[in-house]
Amino acid sequence: MRRSLLRLGASSATHVLPPWPPPSYYNGGSSSKASNFQSTSAFSSNSRWVVVTNSLPPPEWVEPFNDVSDIVSSPQRFDPSPWVAQILNLLDGSPQMEPNLDFYCHKFLIKLSPNFVAYVLKSDDLRGKPETALRFFSWAGKQKKYHHKLECYVSLIELLCLCGDLDRIRCVVVELKNMNFLMNSNAANCLIKSFGCLGMVEELLWVWRGMKENGIEPSLYTYNFLVNGLVNSMFIESAERVFEVMEGGKIVPDIVTYNTMIKGYCKAGKTQKAMEKFWDMEGRNVEADKITYMTLMQGCYSEGDFDSCLSLYQEMREKGIEIPSHAYSLVINGLCKGGKCMVGYAVFEDMIEKGCKANVANYTALIDSYAKCGCIEEAMKLFKRMKSDGLEPDGVTYGVIVNGLCKSGRLEKAMEYFQFCQNNRMADNAMLYSSLIDGLGKAGRVDEAERVFEQMIEKGCPPDSYCYNALIDALAKCGKTDEALALFKKMEKEGCDQTVYTYTILIDGLFKEHRNEEALKLWDMMIDKGITPTAASFRALSVGLCLSGKVARACKILDDLAPMGVIPETAFEDMINVLCKAGRVKEACKLADGIVDRGREIPGRIRTVLINALRKTGNADLAMKLMHSKIGIGYDRWGSVKKRVKFRILIDI
């Protein structure tokens, strides 16, 4: 039909148009509708009626239709879309043709009616053409003896909804509100669906009120559309309330309502609530389906809760619910990210066994995980298998391979793959370069790392903070601190963000060269820039300070961090550790006493560190005393608090 329409539209001039108006129209449409196909053909050829469709028009064609519904429901199932399309082509191509539309309507024997207008607005030809639709709508509205009905607006809004055209919909809604139509259930459902899709809550509630005022009972679909609409616009609590109303009413929530609500909780990051809703289902005799599980798994996955993801998957298996390939991917990725590559691989094999084909992302995730677990051989085997499986590794796969090889010290192999990427004009990105720079730097091949850095600039790939950090680290670790600082300055000049890692590397490097004041200056600069320190960055600072005998200063800086909401959990532990390692047991003990004085407990492992350090430095008595002492709160065997013992070490030294 589409083909014939194009021919009609494109070459109508070369065809002979029917006499206008057609003879039957002259008869006021009163001639018999029973005209059979033969007679139509005869009539057509006699009157030079050339029809350019592949399917011949039905006998009804020669009759003036009263309405589009006549055509659609005709026994021949006559499809008027070519004619509709031609009208729209005209509108689309030349706005000045508007006045002729009336003529075309007559030509196609279609009477302009609200049903017809609604029909046209629903046609595929208007998909993605809001302008044309609106022009048609407003043209129709201006015609004599024609008035839009509610359904016309509904269709227009549905269409604009598909285009995501919020502003235009709002304009249409303003007009619609002024029309004061009587709401009906079908229109209300459609409107709630449309407004819900776009999260237009105000309009949604306007329809809902309209329904109430007109005594229209919401159906299950209405409720579900409403809940979906509220959820899509993140009105989770409102959705919750509708859900509660349903639970207490005649129309109880079904699987779709539950799934929608679960989706809402997941979207809002309330995974726990989503799980509760899921558990509720059982008691309400609503069976969870694959959508329920998928929604929950997706939610858990994006929260980083891979364990729940896995147990949901296992539950699906136990229940015999069909497992979509995306579910396998989530589970495999989750396991890979959690460092459980073996289990991930088992699921992967399971997936293949169940008939789901593995994809590039599945393989890549597994390769990465194996490489990160130190099983580079296994990773390379998977890489080989992937290729023999007919899958073409992508930029990410090569990124993972190059990084894995670098981290395992197989730099020559990594460079081979890097070269392969370059030759094949793929994945020439900062990620590949940073892996390589880091690998070379860690292997002490700093000159080469620098060359790679230069090379990327020459190739027009600007280094990002990862590349800078990798090279700065390489330089700082081999004592080229000034070069590292020069790069740090260059970073700022080039507009590349200096991160907490950049500062950590440099602070560490400066302390190692006993350039304490410079290191402290960098720390302050970092804080001033609003960069949140990490545990690692504080460790670099505190270790440097402790080893230069400034334990109190480190403690002071730590205290200053607390109001900023930064509390490095292992700060004291790290400091005591480093002091003990350096044989400065007295300072370590003093720090421990200070911690106890603040009313905090010393963890068992730190006590062990202290005990060993005391023994090593010839303070066996003190070590014994510390071993037998109780620090923190003691409990008796009935569980009640027995005593609180504070043991201060230095008093006895």
Residue 329 CB, shortest distance to DNA, in Å, is 2
Binding status of residue 290 toward DNA by CB under 7 A: yes
> Using CB under 7 A, which residues numbered 403 to 442 contact DNA?
403, 427, 429-435, 438
CA distance 294 to 412: 43
641: enclosing H helix or E strand = strand 641-645
Query: With respect to DNA, which residue has the nearer C-beta, 431 or 576?
Result: 431
Please give the DSSP secondary-structure letter assigned to residue 183.
P
CA distance 554 to 560: 10
Residue 270 CB, shortest distance to DNA, in Å, is 15
Tokens 């197989």, residue? Answer: 410
CB atoms inside a 10 Å sphere around CB 649: 23
Kindly indicate which of the ranges 12-20, 118-126, 295-303, 507-515 contains the residues binding DNA, using the contact rule CB under 7 A: 295-303
Burial class of 94 by CB neighbour count within 10 A (0 to 12, 13 to 18, 19+): exposed
The strand pair at 641-645 and 632-635 is best described as antiparallel
> Using CB under 7 A, which residues numbered 43 to 82 contact DNA?
none
Which pairs with CB-CB distance under 8 Å and at least 24 residues apart come from 337-341?
Answer: 337/306, 337/365, 337/369, 338/306, 338/307, 339/369, 339/372, 339/373, 340/369, 341/366, 341/369, 341/370, 341/372, 341/373, 341/375, 341/378
Residue 641 CB, shortest distance to DNA, in Å, is 45
CB atoms inside a 10 Å sphere around CB 507: 28
Residue 413 · residue 439 · CB < 8 Å: no
Residue 160 CB, shortest distance to DNA, in Å, is 17
x/- mask, DNA, residues 318-357, rule CB under 7 A, reads: ------xxxx-xx--x---x--------------------
Q: Which of 115, 233, 260, 537 binds DNA (CB under 7 A)?
A: 260
Kindly indicate which of the ranges 94-102, 284-292, 408-416, 626-634 contains the residues binding DNA, using the contact rule CB under 7 A: 284-292
Residue 598 CB, shortest distance to DNA, in Å, is 38
x/- mask, DNA, residues 525-544, rule CB under 7 A, reads: --------------------
CA distance 482 to 465: 18
Q: Which of 52, 72, 97, 220 binds DNA (CB under 7 A)?
A: 220
From residue 435, how far is each of 176, 374, 430, 470, 652 by CA, in Å?
Answer: 60, 16, 9, 8, 52
Query: With respect to DNA, which residue has the nearer C-beta, 474 or 613?
Result: 474
Residue 80 CB, shortest distance to DNA, in Å, is 21
Strand-pairing partners, residue 645, are: 632
Residue 525 CB, shortest distance to DNA, in Å, is 23
Strand-pairing partners, residue 633, are: 644
Binding status of residue 115 toward DNA by CB under 7 A: no
CA distance 331 to 66: 58
x/- mask, DNA, residues 446-485, rule CB under 7 A, reads: ------------------x-xx------------------
Query: With respect to DNA, which residue has the nearer C-beta, 246 or 446?
Result: 246
Residue 470 CB, shortest distance to DNA, in Å, is 8
| Angle, CA 349 vertex, CA 343 and CA 354 arms, to 5° | 125
Binding status of residue 394 toward DNA by CB under 7 A: yes
3-state secondary structure of 298: helix
Query: With respect to DNA, which residue has the nearer C-beta, 173 or 323?
Result: 323
Residues that bind DNA (CB under 7 A): 186, 189-190, 193, 219-221, 224-225, 228, 254-257, 259-260, 263, 289-292, 294-295, 298, 302, 324-327, 329-330, 333, 337, 359-362, 364-365, 368, 372, 394-397, 399-400, 403, 427, 429-435, 438, 464, 466-467
